[in-house]
Every structure is written in structure tokens, then in C-alpha cells.
Amino acid sequence: MANKPVLLTGIQPSGDLHIGNYFGAMKPFVELAQTGGYQTYVMVVDYHALNTVQDSDQMRRRIREIAMAYLAVGLDPNEIILFQQSAVPAHTELAWIFDAITTMPYLMRAHAFKDAEAKNKEISVGTFNYPMLMAADILLYDTTLVPVGKDNKQHIEITRDTAEKFNRIFKEEVFTLPEGHIQSGVEIVPGTDGQKMSKSYGNVIQLFGSHDDLVKAVMSIVTDSSGERPQNVYAIHKLVRSEEELEQMYTEHKGNYKVLKEFLIEDLDRYFAPIRAKHEELKSDDSIVDLVLEAGKREARAVSETKMEQVRRAIGVA
Ligand code: AMP
Ligand code: TRP
């Protein structure tokens, strides 16, 4: 186990999960973890989310929801290390050290910062420093592989630059350079209006919503009346059913959008039934989540503290 390459991800507890998150991030990650070829770390990055989530009840609830969701979609708690970022002090400590060796102009080139600035937002210092905390998240565990969406590609580059810079300044190979794994096979999951599914567009199909939520969302899918095949319905349908079967179904029921949507509801229900059942089970006994997070905290603290001892020696404070 000790010598397996390290697979790591971080998820912000900043909103309800939708099926775009599932197909775009969770499913591919779980499949990688299930190969058994990695030591896997899954971290709920609550201190990253603090930049946007500033309500204690909401924060508390969402942290648990994310942890529960990752267990529900198939991560084996005995095989992975699942923990809260805030429970492991090394993350913020190392982020500070990275702050000290990184220049303002360098971080000002980050897309996320430039986007926020372009929107004329009052940017928090934490938003500006976001990439440093993320670099710490990754580098503390000698991570080899970080699966991310395209939007996080630059964060991985910053992480690699920071690792290299630290190793160069302090003349010691303290940090391993991680690889980003851009999930290219995964298409962008469209929402009910055909745009990218996103909580900020209000076009989502929730991952753990009720049956009524599902019906409402699917029935609201925007159909283009000019074509015979409702593209937005089909695009979601092909995530849960083979295109061969869909060809037949969409030919047979050509133009009958209501029936096709009903089939989609049925297929989504069937596809997500095991995940939802597992989710219900975890919800009914949430002490399991506590136990998993507690065990994760212990392991992550031990591993990260060993790395921090090396870091403190390398910089000369110990
Ligand atoms: P977010 O909460 O929007 O930051 O997304 C969390 C993760 O889910 C990221 O890795 C995204 O790439 C992925 N994701 C979010 N929305 C979609 C979507 N509509 N299609 C595919 N992947 C998505
Ligand atoms: N930046 C990621 C996001 O967009 C969250 C994150 C924080 C992360 N630390 C990480 C992802 C470490 C992968 C590895 O939500």
C-alpha cells in the first residue's frame, strides 16, 4: 500500500450536487479509485469554500453532504482516506509558507482571479490565495495524479511551479510534482436549458433530489420544436442508456416529446436507484460518516505532519 501512486481530489462543500457533477467529476474519479492502483485521498475543502459559504449551518450541512455523497457513489471507506481539509492544520500552515515564496504578480495571472476581477468583485484575500492552499492540499501527500476539470488546469500548473520553486530555493526535493488528469472523455453535461448544467444557471437535475424534483426537472427540459429529435432530452438520455437503444426509442416515438421525457425519467430513476438507496442508508445512520471522517482525519494528519517536519527543517525553522 505504501508505494502505490497517490490519487487525490478536493471538493468544495458549496452547493447541492447535480448529475453534471456526477458524470463530470464523481463517476470518473470513483472509477479510477476502484482500479485499486492508487492510495486515494478525498478531501472536503471547506476552507476553500469559506470564501463563498459564510453561514455556519449551511457549511456544517454541506460538509456532511459531500462526504456522504462520495460514499454513496461507490468509494469504499476502507480503501480511501476521506477527510475535512480544516481538520488537518498542515494545509493552512503550508499555504502560508507558499505565500512567502510566491509573488503577487504571479498569482495575479491566475484565470480565476482575473475572472473575479473582471466582474468587478470585491475579491477576498482568500480568493486571491486560493491556488496556494490548493497547492498545499496536493503537495502534502506526495500526490501523483489529480483528476480535474478544464477550469482547474491552471491550478495544477501553479501547484507544479510552486513545488519546483520550493525545491529549488531550499535545495531539497521535498515535493513531488503531480500530474493533472484532465478528464477529456467526459463531455460537458447539458442542463435542462441546453447550456452547461450548473447550479448558477438553475438548470440542474439534482443527484439526490426526490422523484418529484426529477419529474419537474425533466419535464422542464427545453425542446426545440423545429427538429424531430429533442436534442436536450437526448443529450441527457445518452448518459444513462446506450445510443443503440436510444436510436430505436427516439425513432419509434419521433416527435412525441412527452413520452420520450417519461422514458428519460424512468431511465434516470433506474440508473441512480442504487446510489440513492446507499445515500438513504447513510442518511439513516450518519454515525458512519462521522467514523469515516474521523479515521480520515487521523491518517491525513499523520501523513501531512511527517511532510511538514521535512518542510520545517528544509526552510530552517526547525
Ligand atoms: P462545480 O461545483 O461547478 O465547481 O463542479 C465540480 C466538478 O463537477 C468539477 O470538476 C466540474 O468539472 C464538474 N462539473 C460541474 N458541472 C458539470 C457539467 N455540467 N458537466 C460536466 N462536469 C461538470
Ligand atoms: N479547486 C477545486 C475546485 O474547483 C477544489 C480543490 C481544492 C481541489 N483543493 C483541491 C481539487 C485539490 C483537487 C485537488 O472546486
Q: Are residues 81 and 212 in the same domain?
A: no
Q: Are residues 296 and 249 in the same domain?
A: no
Cβ atoms of 20 and 196 within 8 Å: the answer is yes
Q: Are residues 205 and 257 in the same domain?
A: yes
Q: Are residues 104 and 29 in the same domain?
A: yes
Residue 1 lies in a domain: no
Residue 193 lies in a domain: no
Q: Are residues 134 and 275 in the same domain?
A: no
Residue 255 lies in a domain: yes
Residue 191 lies in a domain: no
**What's the pLDDT at 126?**
95
**What's the pLDDT at 274?**
96
213 alpha carbon – ligand 1 mean position (Å): 20
134 alpha carbon – ligand 2 mean position (Å): 6
pLDDT of 13 > 70? The answer is yes
pTM of the model: 0.93
Residue matched to cell numbers 441527457: 236
Band of the pLDDT at 255, cuts 50, 70, 90?
confident
User: What average pLDDT does this structure show over 149-156?
Assistant: 90
Give the contacts of 76 (CB within 8 A, at least 6 positions apart). 34
DSSP structure class, residue 4: S
Q: Are residues 207 and 118 in the same domain?
A: no
Q: Are residues 42 and 181 in the same domain?
A: yes
92 lines ligand 1 (CB under 6 A): no
Looking from the CA of residue 196, the nearest atom of ligand 1 is 19
**What's the pLDDT at 227?**
67
Q: Are residues 34 and 169 in the same domain?
A: yes
Structural domain count of the chain: 2
Q: Is the dihedral of CA 219, 221, 226, 228 positive or negative?
A: negative
Residue 151 lies in a domain: yes
User: What average pLDDT does this structure show over 146-150?
Assistant: 88
Q: Are residues 124 and 169 in the same domain?
A: yes
| CA nearest ligand 2 atom 11, residue | 10
Ligand nearest to the CA of 146: 2
Q: Domain holding 228: CATH number? A: 1.10.240.10
pLDDT, tens digit, for every residue of 163-177? 999 999 999 999 999
Cβ atoms of 88 and 297 within 8 Å: the answer is yes
Residue 194 lies in a domain: no
Give the contacts of 130 (CB within 8 A, at least 6 positions apart). 48, 51, 110, 112, 113, 155
* CA–CA dist 155, 133 (Å, integer): 10
Share above pLDDT 90 across residues of the chain, in percent, rounded to a whole number: 87
25 lines ligand 1 (CB under 6 A): yes
Looking from the CA of residue 26, the nearest atom of ligand 1 is 8
**What's the pLDDT at 14?**
86
128 alpha carbon – ligand 2 mean position (Å): 14
Q: Are residues 139 and 237 in the same domain?
A: no
Domain span at residue 176?
6-186+286-315
Describe the strand order of the beta sheet including 80-84 as a list of residue ranges: 80-84, 39-44, 6-11, 145-148, 179-182
Q: Domain holding 51: CATH number? A: 3.40.50.620
Residue 179 lies in a domain: yes
pLDDT, tens digit, for every residue of 257-293? 999 999 999 999 999 999 999 999 999 998 999 999 9
* CA–CA dist 195, 186 (Å, integer): 16
25 alpha carbon – ligand 1 mean position (Å): 6
pLDDT, tens digit, for every residue of 198-250? 988 999 999 999 999 999 999 999 987 666 789 999 999 999 999 999 999 99
Band of the pLDDT at 120, cuts 50, 70, 90?
confident
20 alpha carbon – ligand 1 mean position (Å): 6
Mean pLDDT of the chain: 94
Q: Are residues 126 and 275 in the same domain?
A: no
Residue 192 lies in a domain: no
